[in-house]
Amino acid sequence: MAEVIKTAAISDEESFDRLERMADNLMAGDLPSLYEAVLASVQFKAQVVSADEKESGLREVLNFGHSVGHAIEALMQPALLHGEAVAIGMVKEAEIARHLGILSQANFGRLVRCIMSYSLPVTVPTRLPLSAILGKMAVDKKNKVPRRELVLLEG
């Protein structure tokens, strides 16, 4: 579900609204709603990949939450699943956008509430120091050396 939330957050307002409204149904095991949410996610990813087959830049949007998430995942395996790490990564990357004034507090809150409504974690495990996360992020293959690459939400 973290990947579904990610694609809704980076695609458009309507998709994110729908995912917020569907949380109770999806968490209750409503299979038609689950099918609809996953299909919308896969279709969006396919559109992005098709529009950027040579990876010239657009496809990077699919990495939202993954720069921080992959670092957390690498440090926490096997205790944390990929989706759980990406959920935390989305929150942290959105928090950075909020601090930079790119993302409003209201939209930051919406993202966090949406992630929580799907019973996904939103905080870094307490035993995980920032220095360790930054160290893992420094060796991410998606970086453009010497910078760490992040996808930041604007809305």
Q: Tell me if the pTM is above 0.85.
A: yes
CATH code that applies to domain 2-138: 1.20.1090.10
Distance CA 91, CA 85 (A): 10
Q: What is the pLDDT along the chain (155 residues), one digit of tens a residue?
A: 999 999 999 998 999 999 999 999 999 999 999 999 999 999 999 999 999 887 777 888 899 999 999 999 999 989 999 999 999 999 999 999 999 999 999 999 999 999 999 999 999 998 888 999 988 888 876 666 566 778 889 98
Task: Please give the Cα distance from 57 to 106 (Å, whole number).
Answer: 28
**CA geometry: angle 90, 86, 47, nearest 5 deg:** 80
The runs of H, that is alpha helices, within 28-81 are 31-51, 66-76
Domain ranges of the chain: 2-138
